């Protein structure tokens, strides 16, 4: 009975169970591998399952615990988004271009978690090169939402989100460029954390938009996010954008006594594009914070409405540059039968990249080209600075900013793939935090027609502890994060 219930427990509860010898890391790993084998065919959450390596890591974890050298994460089974390089294991980034790429090294966060004794169950499906909001652009096919298999789980970290929500792993890593952790967290009923830009290393994380990409976590609870981020965060000399600021003790900080917070609500987040029932669930969650003693006040983010157009100039421009390395010469997909080098390049990239990636490369190349750089890219960077300044002014008066994570609950697979603009608008509430480099998270706050809804919280730079503490105390007084899809209970 204990093992059957394990997949519904949080990481912190699993850690306690391992420490109390209620279950071994080997037994826990076998349990999750069994669920993956039984259930993932319908979800398509995993690209690669590393069963043999996982069992070896679990055995090593049990030895560490027996020897008294374990950490809180030793023996905990998680999954990594298939954007993080992993030694000797395929790292595809959801693309045909990298379908045959086996990394010779570990990404820094993978190495840190491995050193802590984490068990890696496998690599999760994702939108190709992290470009998407629904996890429908993957070369390996769409991921399905455990709450409704006909609906999307959100993207681009949809595989990680679906795997955690369905109880196929205890937690998972993800990346967030414009909302790609928070959005799938909201649509699958999870807690998704994007830390401050530079707080967790990007070394070994395949680049999409280098000034926006950030590693983070997908877990059931804020306490779980604190546990993982405690290990993942910190300076890395291999990453020139890594921050040298000391990492606080998040795990201890979230348990400290509640302090009354000033929470700002941007009323322009509650616009006509927000589903009315979504809005009601978010408003109700703000009432919970008020009952805890928080002060709720309106704040102005005057330029946040520019987030989507700014993002879809800046991100494609950086993608155009980052993805120029995929030419078929050094690694990745290689076209066959080309008559000359130019044809080889063209055919390799035409065959290797999917439609959405090509769209963004073309857009990015256009806005960086002579005659258009000043009109588009330079203007977008100026507007980006205005958005960052809006947040800075708001945080002079409030401790956190709260609002919806997504405009609607999870939508049907195929509904928006033919309309890129409508798809891009799914990130309308999340992009601003990326443009400003701020920490942000989504936590479950209710349901609409049986589908999860997320509350987004945004904090000032390096205030992950404040963010996690607020989310943790919210979850001590609610049970939305405890709900699991009936079919995967």
Contacts of the segment 267-276: beta carbons below 8 A, 24+ positions apart:
267/298, 268/301, 268/304, 268/305, 269/304, 269/403, 269/404, 269/429, 270/403, 270/404, 273/407, 273/425, 273/428, 274/404, 274/407, 275/407, 275/408, 275/409, 275/448
Maximum distance among all Cα pairs of the chain, rounded to whole angstroms: 71
Q: Count the residues in the chain.
A: 489
Active-site residue (options: 24, 133, 157, 180):
180
CA–CA separation, 345 vs 78, rounded Å?
Answer: 37
CA–CA separation, 178 vs 387, rounded Å?
Answer: 14
Pairing state between β 440-448 and 191-194: antiparallel
Closest CA to 356 of 47, 158, 159, 127: 127
CA–CA separation, 294 vs 265, rounded Å?
Answer: 12
String of DSSP letters for 232-249: HBS--TT-TT---SPPP-
Q: Quick count: other Cβ atoms within 10 Å of Cβ 255?
A: 14
Per the listing, tokens 């030694």 go with 87
CA–CA separation, 391 vs 481, rounded Å?
Answer: 28
Phi/psi-derived region of residue 214, left when phi > 0, alpha when psi is between -120 and 50, beta in every other case: beta
CA–CA separation, 14 vs 23, rounded Å?
Answer: 9
Q: In what order do the strands lie in the sheet with 440-448?
A: 46-49, 119-124, 77-81, 172-175, 215-219, 191-194, 440-448, 451-458, 400-404, 262-266, 295-299
Closest CA to 251 of 234, 219, 274, 228: 228
CA–CA separation, 351 vs 366, rounded Å?
Answer: 21
Structure tokens at 129: 């090169």
Active-site residue (options: 9, 15, 24, 81):
81
Per the listing, tokens 């291999």 go with 238
Contact at 8 Å (CB) between 60 and 117?
Answer: yes
Active-site residue (options: 138, 156, 242, 442):
156
Contact at 8 Å (CB) between 236 and 108?
Answer: yes
167's CB contacts (< 8 A; 6+ apart) are: 7, 8, 35, 484, 488, 489
Q: How many helical (H) and strand (E) elements, i.e. helices and strands, does the chain have?
A: 17, 11
291 catalytically annotated: no
180 catalytically annotated: yes
156 catalytically annotated: yes
Active site residues: 81, 156, 180
């Amino acid at each position: 009975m204990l093992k059957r219930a394990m997949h519904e427990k949080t990481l912190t509860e699993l850690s306690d169970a391992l420490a109390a010898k209620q279950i071994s890391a080997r037994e826990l790993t076998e349990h999750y591998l069994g669920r993956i084998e039984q259930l993932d065919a319908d979800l398509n959450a995993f690209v690669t399952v590393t069963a043999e390596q996982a069992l070896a890591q679990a055995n090593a974890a049990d030895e560490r615990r027996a020897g008294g050298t374990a950490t809180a994460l030793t023996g905990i089974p998680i999954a990594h988004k298939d954007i993080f390089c992993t030694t000797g294991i395929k790292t595809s980034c959801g693309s045909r271009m990298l379908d045959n790429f086996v990394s010779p090294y570990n990404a820094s966060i993978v190495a840190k978690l491995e050193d802590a004794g984490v068990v890696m169950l496998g690599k999760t499906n994702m939108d190709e090169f992290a470009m998407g909001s629904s996890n429908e652009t993957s070369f390996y096919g769409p991921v399905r939402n455990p709450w409704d298999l006909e609906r999307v789980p959100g993207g681009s970290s949809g595989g990680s989100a679906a795997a955690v929500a369905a109880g196929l792993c205890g937690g998972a890593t993800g990346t967030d460029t414009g909302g790609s952790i928070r959005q799938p967290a909201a649509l699958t009923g999870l807690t998704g954390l994007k830390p401050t830009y530079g707080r967790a290393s990007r070394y070994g994380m395949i680049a999409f938009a280098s000034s926006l990409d950030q590693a983070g976590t997908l877990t059931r609870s804020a306490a779980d996010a604190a546990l993982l981020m405690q290990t993942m965060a910190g300076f890395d000399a291999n990453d020139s954008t890594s921050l040298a600021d000391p990492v606080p003790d998040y795990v201890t900080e979230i348990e400290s006594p509640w302090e009354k917070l000033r929470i700002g609500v941007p009323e322009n987040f509650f616009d006509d594009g927000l589903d009315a029932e979504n809005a009601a669930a978010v408003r109700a969650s703000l009432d919970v914070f008020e009952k805890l003693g928080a002060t709720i006040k309106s704040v102005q983010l005057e330029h946040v409405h520019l987030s989507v157009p700014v993002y879809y100039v800046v991100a494609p421009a950086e993608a155009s540059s980052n993805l120029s390395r995929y030419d078929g010469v050094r690694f990745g997909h290689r076209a066959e039968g080309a008559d000359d080098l130019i044809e080889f390049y063209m055919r390799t990239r035409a065959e290797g990249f999917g439609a959405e990636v090509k769209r963004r490369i073309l857009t990015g190349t256009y806005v960086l080209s002579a005659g258009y750089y000043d009109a588009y890219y330079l203007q977008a960077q100026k507007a980006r600075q205005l958005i960052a300044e809006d947040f800075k002014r708001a945080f002079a008066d409030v401790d956190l900013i709260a609002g919806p994570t997504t405009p609607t609950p999870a939508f049907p697979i195929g509904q928006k793939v033919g309309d890129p603009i409508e798809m891009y608008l799914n990130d309308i509430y999340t992009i601003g935090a990326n443009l400003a480099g701020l920490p942000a998270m989504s936590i479950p706050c209710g349901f609409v027609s049986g589908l999860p809804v997320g509350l987004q919280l945004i904090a000032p730079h390096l205030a992950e502890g404040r963010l996690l503490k607020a989310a943790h105390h919210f979850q001590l007084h609610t049970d939305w994060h405890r709900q699991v899809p009936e079919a995967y209970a």
